[in-house]
Amino acid sequence: MKTRKTPRRKCVGCGEQFDKRNLVRIVHSKEEGVCIDLTGKKNGRGAYICKNIDCFQSSVKKNALSRALGIDVDDDVSEAIRKEILGSKWKKVFFWIKKEYMK
């Protein structure tokens, strides 16, 4: 039986590869600045990250997010993204994914 392959991307936090659908895309564009790309279709430099706040935080700590986006992710930017991740509907997804990881 053939299993359908979906594109895999590397998480900038933990460095593991995952199914694209299980990652969050963060995009940096000149027009909009840094934002979370829920559609996966925005223009700009993107970084993929697990739907997991721990990976986000380690990507900031390691400077991996800055490198991937080609900008300096300072405290203001990272705080804004963090708030967006935690404050949005992603929170539920994050929780669900965490449970999946623990299986």
Q: Is 85 in the site for Zn ion (CB under 5 A)?
A: no
Largest CA distance in the chain: 49
Q: Does 27 bind Zn ion (CB under 5 A)?
A: no
Residue with tokens 């909009």: 32
List residues bridging with 8 in a β-sheet: 19
**How far is CA 4 from its chain centroid?**
23
**How far apart are the C-alpha atoms of 67 and 47, rounded to whole Å?**
9
Distance between CA 24 and CA 1 in Å, rounded?
30
Closer CB to Zn ion, residue 16 or residue 32?
A: 16
Site for Zn ion in 41-70 (CB under 5 A): 50, 55
Q: Is residue 97 involved in binding Zn ion (CB under 5 A)?
A: no
Q: Which is nearer to Zn ion, 34 or 48 (CB)?
A: 48
Among 13, 44, 68, 73, binds Zn ion (CB under 5 A): 13
C-alpha angle 58/77/101, rounded to 5°? Answer: 30
Decide: is 26 part of the binding site for Zn ion (CB under 5 A). Answer: no
In the complex, the smallest distance separating the C-beta of residue 10 from Zn ion, rounded to whole angstroms, is: 9
Residues at the contact surface with Zn ion, assessed by CB under 5 A: 11, 13-14, 50, 55
